[in-house]
Amino acid sequence: MSSNLASKLRIGTKKAHTMAENVGFVKCFLKGVVEKNSYRKLVANFYYIYSAMEEEMEKHSQHPILSKINFPQLNRKHTLEQDLNYYYGANWREQIQLSSAGEAYVQRIREISATEPELLIAHSYTRYLGDLSGGQILKNIAVTAMNLGEGQGTAFYEFDEISDEKAFKAKYRQSLDELPIDDATGDRIVEEANAAFGMNMKMFQELEGNLIKAIGTMLYNTLTRRRTRGSTELATAE
């Protein structure tokens, strides 16, 4: 019996995905305007978020539902450590700070892990499938915009243990569809995925002030004026 969770998530989060890509910070990024200080703060937030997500997933490695969607080859904590070392230097641990939106995100991950661990699927789906889908696009933008050298500051986008990303995404979606869950649980997972997109949006919005300061109000307004369908949304659907 199929839960159809993959298509429920894709359809159920479509609006939230589009909204997230229309946040000014993301629109500027997709147009090739990336400011290093804002970006490294985002990487720091991601470090805390993925660390929490991966720790909690590991805690539930024997869980009847979560164990079927736990793919260690997706883990990003180690790659984020490499990137933080590049952006902040060897003592990055003393320099990085979790923002308030990032803190709310981490707290939510810890909370559902303790109370309703199946909802971690929503966070795994929202982050990892997005990383796999739009990762290469975003990596190329970051390299060009910040003038990065080969392999510098972009480890986050490299999935060394996944040789065929398209095949892996198909396998991931199939695993979602085969989960032994009822409709009510599926609906709660979709609801949580929408909440996860909201948490990501708040994090991006926090960075807009830094970006505006760096590039100037006029340029920022020009870049964010028109609503456009984001390129990573197209990639996720593939």
Which whole number is the average pLDDT over 121-144?
93
The one-letter code for the residue type at 202 is K
| Of 158, 199, 193, 141, nearest in space to 74 by CA | 158
Quote the mean pLDDT of the chain. Answer: 93
* Range of lowest pLDDT (96-100, 172-176, 211-215): 211-215
Given a contact cutoff of 8 angstroms between Cβ atoms, the answer to whether 137 and 231 are in contact is: yes
| Of 203, 198, 222, 227, nearest in space to 212 by CA | 222
Per-residue pLDDT band at 232 (split at 50, 70, 90)? low
Flag whether pLDDT at 226 surpasses 80: no
Q: What is the pTM of this model?
A: 0.92
For residues 237 and 221, give the distance between their C-alpha atoms in angstroms, rounded to a whole number: 29
pLDDT over 70 for what percent of the chain? 94
Which whole number is the average pLDDT over 71-80?
97
Domains of the chain: 5-236 (1.20.910.10)
For residues 192 and 147, give the distance between their C-alpha atoms in angstroms, rounded to a whole number: 36
Which whole number is the average pLDDT over 13-39?
94
Contacts of 55 (CB under 8 A, 6+ apart): none
Per-residue pLDDT band at 227 (split at 50, 70, 90)? low
pLDDT over 90 for what percent of the chain? 83
